[in-house]
Amino acid sequence: MNGINQLNHESLARARSEIFQADGIAVLTGAGISAESGVPTFRGPGGLWNNYRAEELATPEAFRRDPRLVWEWYQWRRNLMAEKKPNPGHLALAELEERTPDFTLITQNVDGLHALAGSRNILELHGSIWRTRCVSCGGKAAGREPWPELPPRCPTCRGLVRPDVVWFGEALNEALLGRAFAAASACRVMLVVGTSALVQPAATVAWLAQKAGAVLIEVNVEPTPLSARAQFSLMGPSGRILPLLIEK
Ligand code: BV8
Ligand code: ZN
């Protein structure tokens, strides 16, 4: 997909002016925005889930059944992500935040690349692969170095330590989700980047925004359930499209 040539320049220009005029912008990102940083997506070719099924590993049952296997998968992902850098798509969103009075970045990603790119008002709906939580005492820790032993043990109570992410079947943090829904309901433009819009309740954020009257702009390399409803569905890699979209 060479992106720009197939892209309708007219709609890119109109989407750009919507963004330029908006004093409130909310963004929802998914694994696709990190694809050009070399982080595999979940459902695309070579996706993370291809070798495993999500239900096998990203669930509390899987962790109860075999904490070591689940940790081996997360350790593999942490090692894979450790040296990955933000790409021009992440950087474009950080720049857009600088010049937008009211800006909220809602991400389903756990890779931490938005923060590395300089974004500040970030809601990590599904947690972070760089944080852990003790299942016994709740103690949290953050770090990027590989664990010496799997599954890791809590330094305080020797309890089992888990990745501080939201697994399938687990509730999202109420307060965080509330802030995401509030930002979606208040924004003028909702920019949805690199998500298959399949996972709930995260995907609801986009529908909420549009219901509240926001302009929905989607950036993806393939159509999603949102594409038909978006005012602008810009087909192309986000690392190429986003810098063009935020150009003054
Ligand atoms: C909940 C963290 C209730 C962990 C993740 C049926 C059965 C079982 C469950 C359900 C079901 N129906 C609904 C559910 C609920 C379930 C769900 O939505 N399932 C889906 C799959 C149907 N949701 C949940 O379980 C949620 N919890 O509902 O709890 C509850 C309530 C109260 C009390 C108790 C319980 C929890 C969901 C969170 C799961 N955790 N991740 C980890 O990462 O290890 S989800 C996982 O998927 C990631 O977070 C990921 O971000 C997320 C969404 O995927 P995407 O980001 O969209 O990635 P994907 O690969 O799918 O798509 C990539 C896109 O990018 C593609 O469109 C591609 O075209 C595009 N792309 C690729 N390259 C580029 C690009 N775009 C632009 N540029 C490029 N270069
Ligand atoms: Zn503990």
Closest-lying ligand to the alpha carbon of 152? 2
Q: Is the pLDDT of residue 10 over 50?
A: yes
How far away, in angstroms, is 192 Cα from ligand 2 center?
37
- Kindly state if the Cβ of 109 falls inside 6 Å of ligand 1: yes
Tell me which residue has its CA closest to atom 73 in ligand 1: 32
Q: How far apart are CA 43 and CA 40, in angstroms?
A: 9
Mean pLDDT of the chain, nearest integer: 93
Ligand 2 centroid to residue 135 C-alpha, Å: 7
Write the pLDDT tens digit of every residue in 95-144: 999 999 999 999 999 999 999 999 999 999 999 999 999 999 999 999 99
* C-alpha of 117 from chain center: 13
Q: 110 CB less than 6 Å from ligand 1?
A: yes
Distance CA 211, CA 179 (A): 17
What is the spatial distance between Cα 230 and Cα 72, in angstroms, rounded to a whole number?
39
pLDDT of residue 2: 43
Summarised one tens digit per residue, pLDDT across range 200-225 is 999 999 999 999 999 999 999 999 99
Give the DSSP letter string of the chain: --GGGGS-HHHHHHHHHHHHH-SEEEEEE-THHHHTTT---SSSTT-HHHHS-HHHHSSHHHHHH-HHHHHHHHHHHHHHHHT----HHHHHHHHHHHT-SEEEEEE---S-HHHHHT--SEEETTEEEEEEEETTT--EEE--SPPSSSS-B-TTT--BEEEEEPPTTSPPPHHHHHHHHHHHHH-SEEEEES--S-STTTTHHHHHHHHTTPEEEEEESS--TTTTT-SEEEES-HHHHHHHHT--
**How many Å lie between the centroid of ligand 2 and the Cα of residue 162?**
10
Q: Which ligand is nearest to the CA of 138?
A: 2
Residues annotated catalytic, as ranges: 126
By DSSP bridging, strand 24-29 and strand 189-193 are: parallel
> What protein residues have CB closer than 5 angstroms to ion ligand 2?
134, 136-137, 139, 154, 156-157, 159
Q: What is residue 5's predicted lDDT score, i.e. its pLDDT?
A: 52
Question: Does residue 199 line the site of ligand 1, with CB under 6 A?
Answer: yes
For atom 21 of ligand 1, the residue with the nearest CA is: 199
pLDDT at 54 over 70: no
